[in-house]
DNA sequence: CTGAAAGCGCTTACAG
DNA sequence: CTGAAAGCGCTTACAG
């Protein structure tokens, strides 16, 4: 910029004015500066500009895994909102590792991002409270923050599961199984709660061998299914607590002689092409991302009250066939 | 930092030394500075630091759509390599819009990212040549850059298709159809070339109604299939030029009375759960992302020659059932 | 309409 | 072992 000013024979401030298209510069001066800019191939360094402006026009997104379809479409939604607000997006995957989450979050804070959208991997976010006080707007997504009262946008996991299980009950099932992810995961616990509530609402008993929580590895799910599907009190329908469980369940159930109904939490591509097509309770990944990002920018613009906001988005039941199979 | 220095009664440089854990500071001084840092809640502003250091420790990734599974896993691989090199990742989706691609690329350049990984949407990247001269390392991915000789990492599209078509021929097919994406798309044209080569290698004639290029919208694909699958010279096998075509083809073929063999380019989740399981030619999305990012950092470290590098990764045939159906 | 000075928050290149 | 000065590339707050 100094070179441009020298070549055009003007002050730094005038170059700055031309570059930023500020009014009040003679057309003649503009032309001279522009010529110098073109000749020198000058282009403004936004990093320097932003240092002075005291905002970085960027937001950081920390999630489990950028490659996971759910988070991928959530990311895209966050990106779109950020773009609409003139901000660029940093992304990082925590891989469910609390240390990595913290590392990423602090790296973004050190760059002084204007705001953060975080899918919590850690269950203690007190390390963030000083940052938030320092002015980094933060919105948690998919799961609430641990030990910190902060903005959060999530799916109504319990409600969605309740609806899915009620759907099975409405189709005549009375013995329904539930296979969920590990207890410690907030969404998993909420879905389990929804299962119990739906059964209770219908006045149906729940036997202890009908539900189980744990890793979603295929072997574990198969073993759990074996238990549920044997004996005189075996289940006639299954609610799968997430995507991976659903897929394993489809594999196992397709090998059985008598049909077992299935509803899964989380939609997935080609669910309608399977045999039978899989009924699911779908989360709105773009909707969650969009809400979170919008809330973030409302915070940045100081539009929202200081009170932490909690937004819960409904899940949607999509009947496709597997959930409408009657009890055998 | 000024405040910390004042509180600790030391110079700025000493604070800098402590923050950066440089050697040669008395333990006593370190303790005093550290106490001031803690008391004031100071944390280094990396944006300011990087302005002075003249590198930003960040790379920009521009692709079609962050929500697309192929690009999502490519992104994750780029992220992992970037992390290993201590760099953060900016991501942006061009949505196949050349203007948006340019906008994103230039925004990243204006932030002075150290390097760029770009999935080209535009077919003219001359706008980038001045940036590249200015030192922004750039690697193109999935498709070569337009009108610019630059580093590129891509899949062997022609070779992969040749292998897939040869697989169908090996299973006895002589009349094989090909439905591809629009001609203008580099990968689409390459795959079409592979189809023609495989047929020619086997000495098989290709009738004009057996292959077609165009939008991958379901209606277009259905119409194209109708043509190929009717008349005395109808095809007994189909090669689908990409994911979306494959999915539509599965739907159409599953409704037919006589079986038609199918091989698709690009793997997709649950392909093995469909009926019949779908044989595909798989690209290595993480491998492509990893190679591109590694090449980028080798450039940044000045390890590679100045000559643009072209890396072509093999595609892999995964037989699952649909591609092994004999001619009816 | 234009520009010189100070400053954003750090590091570099010195000197002591 | 420590620090004052200059500078990274811009903008802000003035003054003229």
Tokens of B45: 């502003």
Tokens of A294: 């919008």
3-state secondary structure of B237: strand
pLDDT score recorded for residue A95: 94
The domains spanning A2-44 and A56-155+285-314 adopt the same CATH topology: no
Kindly report the nearest CA distance between residue A208 and chain B, in angstroms.
31
3-state secondary structure of A265: strand
pLDDT average, residue stretch B131-140: 91
pLDDT score recorded for residue A23: 86
Cα B166 vs. chain centroid, distance in angstroms?
A: 26
User: Which CATH number describes the domain made up of A56-155+285-314?
Assistant: 3.40.50.2300
CB < 7 A to strand D: residues 51-90, chain A: 51-53
Task: Tell me the C-alpha distance between A217 and B301, whole Å.
Answer: 41
Residue written as token pair 């230039």: B106
Q: Band of the pLDDT at B328, cuts 50, 70, 90?
A: confident
Q: What is the pLDDT of residues A173-227, one digit of tens each?
A: 999 999 999 998 999 999 999 999 999 999 999 999 999 999 999 999 999 999 9
Beta-carbon separation of A58 and B110 below 8 A: no
φ, ψ dihedrals at A214, nearest 5°: 165, -170
Tokens of A171: 């189709």
Cα A320 vs. chain centroid, distance in angstroms?
A: 25
Pinpoint the alpha helices (H) of chain A: 2-8, 12-19, 27-40, 46-53, 69-84, 98-110, 129-133, 157-170, 186-201, 218-228, 243-254, 285-300
In chain A, residues with a C-beta closer than 8 Å to the C-beta of B75 are 66-67, 72, 91
pLDDT average, residue stretch B16-21: 92
A44 beta carbon to strand D: under 7 Å = yes
pLDDT average, residue stretch B5-25: 91
Q: What is the pLDDT of residues B198-215, one digit of tens each?
A: 999 999 999 999 999 999
> In terms of residues, how long is chain B?
328
> In terms of residues, how long is chain A?
328
Residue B62 near residue B119, CB atoms below 8 Å: yes
Residue A117 near residue A62, CB atoms below 8 Å: yes
Domain A157-283+317-324's class? alpha beta
In A, minimum Cα distance to B271 occurs at A270
pLDDT score recorded for residue B245: 96
- Spanning CA of B138 to C1' of D10, the rounded length in angstroms is 25
Q: Which of these, A70, A247, A265, A264, lies nearest to A157 by C-alpha position?
A: A265
Pick out chain A residues at pLDDT < 70: none
Tokens of A246: 């659903």
State the first-to-last Cα distance of chain A, in angstroms, to the nearest integer: 78
Tokens of B244: 């979306």
3-state secondary structure of A154: strand
pLDDT average, residue stretch B156-178: 98
Domain B57-155+285-313's class? alpha beta
- B159 half-sphere exposure, CB direction, 13 A CA radius: 10
Residue A256 near residue A40, CB atoms below 8 Å: no
φ, ψ dihedrals at B268, nearest 5°: -150, 155
Beta-carbon separation of B46 and A270 below 8 A: no
A248 touches chain B (CB under 8 A): no
Task: Tell me the C-alpha distance between B206 and A170, whole Å.
Answer: 55
pLDDT score recorded for residue A205: 97
Beta-carbon separation of B90 and A92 below 8 A: no
pLDDT score recorded for residue A196: 98
Task: Tell me the C-alpha distance between B270 and B255, whole Å.
Answer: 19
Tokens of A323: 């959930």
In chain A, residues with a C-beta closer than 8 Å to the C-beta of B250 are 273
pLDDT at B98 over 90: yes
What's the CA dihedral at A162, A168, A173, A176 to 10 degrees? -50
Burial class (CB in 10 A: 0-12, 13-18, 19+), A9: exposed
Question: Sign (positive/negative) of CA torsion B283, B287, B289, B292?
Answer: negative
pLDDT at B302 over 90: no
Question: Sign (positive/negative) of CA torsion B314, B318, B322, B328?
Answer: positive
Average pLDDT, chain B: 94
Q: Which of these, B73, B91, B104, lies nearest to B289 by C-alpha position?
A: B73
pLDDT average, residue stretch B54-70: 94
Residues pairing with B280 in the sheet? B264, B318
Helices (H) and strands (E) in chain B, counts: 12, 12
CB < 7 A to strand C: residues 46-105, chain B: 48-49, 51-53
pLDDT score recorded for residue A227: 95
pLDDT score recorded for residue A183: 92
Cα A48 vs. chain centroid, distance in angstroms?
A: 32
B326 beta carbon to strand D: under 7 Å = no
In chain A, residues with a C-beta closer than 8 Å to the C-beta of B90 are 58, 88-91
B128 touches chain A (CB under 8 A): no
Domain ranges of chain B: 2-44, 57-155+285-313, 157-283+317-324
Chain A from 256 to 315: CB within 8 A of any B CB: 268-270, 273-275, 286
**Minimum CA–C1' distance nucleotide for B52:** D8
pLDDT at B72 over 90: yes
Beta-carbon separation of B66 and A76 below 8 A: yes
Tokens of A110: 């050190």
In chain A, residues with a C-beta closer than 8 Å to the C-beta of B65 are 76
**Minimum CA–C1' distance nucleotide for B32:** D2
A6 touches chain B (CB under 8 A): no
**Minimum CA–C1' distance nucleotide for A53:** D11
Kindly report the nearest CA distance between residue A47 and chain B, in angstroms.
5
Residue written as token pair 């939490």: A265
Fold of B2-44: 434 Repressor (Amino-terminal Domain) (1.10.260)
Q: What is the pLDDT of residues B100-131, one digit of tens each?
A: 999 999 999 999 999 999 999 988 999 999 88
pLDDT score recorded for residue A90: 98
pLDDT score recorded for residue B134: 86
Kindly report the nearest CA distance between residue A314 and chain B, in angstroms.
21
pLDDT at B303 over 90: no
Residue nearest to nucleotide C7 (CA to C1'): A52
């Amino acid at each position: 910029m100094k070179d441009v000013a020298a070549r055009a024979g003007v002050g730094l401030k005038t170059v700055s004015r031309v570059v930023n298209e500020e009014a009040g510069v003679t057309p003649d001066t503009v032309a001279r500066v522009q010529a110098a800019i073109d000749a020198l191939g000058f282009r403004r360094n936004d990093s320097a500009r932003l240092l002075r402006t005291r905002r970085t026009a960027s937001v950081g997104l920390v999630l489990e895994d950028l490659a996971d379809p759910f988070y991928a479409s959530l990311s895209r939604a966050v990106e779109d909102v950020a773009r609409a607000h003139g901000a660029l997006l940093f992304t990082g995957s925590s891989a469910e590792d609390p240390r990595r989450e913290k590392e990423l979050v602090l790296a973004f804070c050190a760059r002084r991002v204007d705001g953060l959208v975080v899918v919590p991997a850690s269950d203690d976010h007190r390390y963030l409270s000083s940052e938030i006080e320092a002015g980094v707007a933060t919105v948690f997504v998919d799961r609430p923050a641990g030990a910190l009262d902060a903005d959060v946008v999530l799916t109504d996991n319990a409600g969605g599961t309740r609806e899915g299980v009620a759907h099975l009950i409405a189709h005549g099932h009375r013995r329904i199984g539930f296979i969920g992810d590990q207890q410690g995961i907030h969404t998993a616990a909420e879905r389990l709660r929804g299962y119990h509530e739906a059964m209770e609402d219908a006045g149906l008993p729940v036997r202890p061998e009908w539900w189980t929580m744990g890793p979603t590895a295929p072997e574990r799910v198969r073993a759990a299914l074996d238990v549920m599907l044997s004996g005189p009190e075996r289940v006639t329908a299954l609610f799968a607590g997430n995507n991976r469980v659903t897929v394993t369940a489809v594999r196992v159930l397709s090998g059985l002689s008598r049909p077992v109904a299935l509803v899964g939490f989380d939609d997935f591509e080609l669910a309608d092409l399977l045999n039978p097509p899989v009924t699911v309770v779908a989360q709105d990944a773009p909707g969650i991302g969009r809400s979170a990002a919008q809330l973030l920018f409302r915070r940045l613009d100081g539009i929202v009250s200081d009170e932490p906001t909690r937004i819960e988005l409904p899940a949607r039941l999509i009947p496709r066939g597997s959930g409408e199979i009657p009890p055998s």
